[in-house]
Amino acid sequence: MQHMILKRSIFLLLIFFNISHGVYAFDENISRPSELPEMEELNQLLYGSNKIEGIVFTIYESDESSLTDIMPRLLYYVSLIKKKFNDLPVAVVSHGDEMLALTTENIDYYPEVHSNLKKVVNLFDVYFHVCGSFARLNDLEIHDFPDYVDVVPFGPSQIDDYQSIGYKTIDLEVEY
């Protein structure tokens, strides 16, 4: 019984330390966003006792510009994951209007989103998927996205596939 209380106390102290003092990112050039609504959930995965096979972040928003707020958090979260578990696989599935910002046509309109996305994919070896079905509904094809974005047939199926092999899911949402 005392062992369980001690484990829970250590876990809560780690969460408190990370939230109140900030965790330093894997790369010092990655800044800590002021809002980190998914931090508690991420800490449970990083410092919990359950073994995980990977993490899949999901994004489903109704606003094309929502990645402006979400991408800095994603970049920060991924840097924390890779700092603790460098080999832990991480993926992202975008399957809402936010993915419209990721087209090559919108690179100049959302330069910071694309810059952060390139860091997530290239620096941290993250798979970033967008829903091909949703893309087709918006008259977009695979060639409308840059090469660092992977277009999959159906976003929800991609999420299910990751979950079936033991990945834990964290939903990234715009905070209002």
Residue-wise pLDDT for 88-106, tens only, equals: 999 999 999 999 999 999 9
Distance, CA of 92 to CA of 7 (rounded, Å): 31
Structural tokens at position 175: 């905070």
Q: Which helix (H) or strand (E) holds 67?
A: helix 67-84
Q: Where are the beta strands (DSSP E) in 38-83?
A: 54-59
How far CA 108 is from CA of 22, 52, 63, in Å, comes to: 32, 37, 18
Q: Strands 150-152, 167-172: parallel, antiparallel or unpaired by DSSP?
A: unpaired
**Closest by CA position to 31, among listed 87, 66, 72:** 72
Minimum mean pLDDT range among 45-49, 82-86, 128-132: 45-49
Judge whether residue 13 has pLDDT over 70: no
Confidence of residue 117 (pLDDT cuts 50, 70, 90): very high
Q: Taking a C-beta distance cutoff of 8 angstroms, is the pair 116, 78 a contact?
A: no
For tokens 């299910």, the residue is: 160
Q: What domains can be seen in the chain, in order of their start residue?
A: 2-172 (3.40.1260.10)
Amino acid at site 118: K
How far CA 15 is from CA of 78, 112, 116, 161, in Å, comes to: 17, 29, 26, 30
Predicted local distance difference test score (pLDDT) of residue 20: 38
Q: pTM of the predicted model, to two decimals? A: 0.84
Q: Taking a C-beta distance cutoff of 8 angstroms, is the pair 42, 78 a contact?
A: no
For the chain, the average pLDDT equals 87
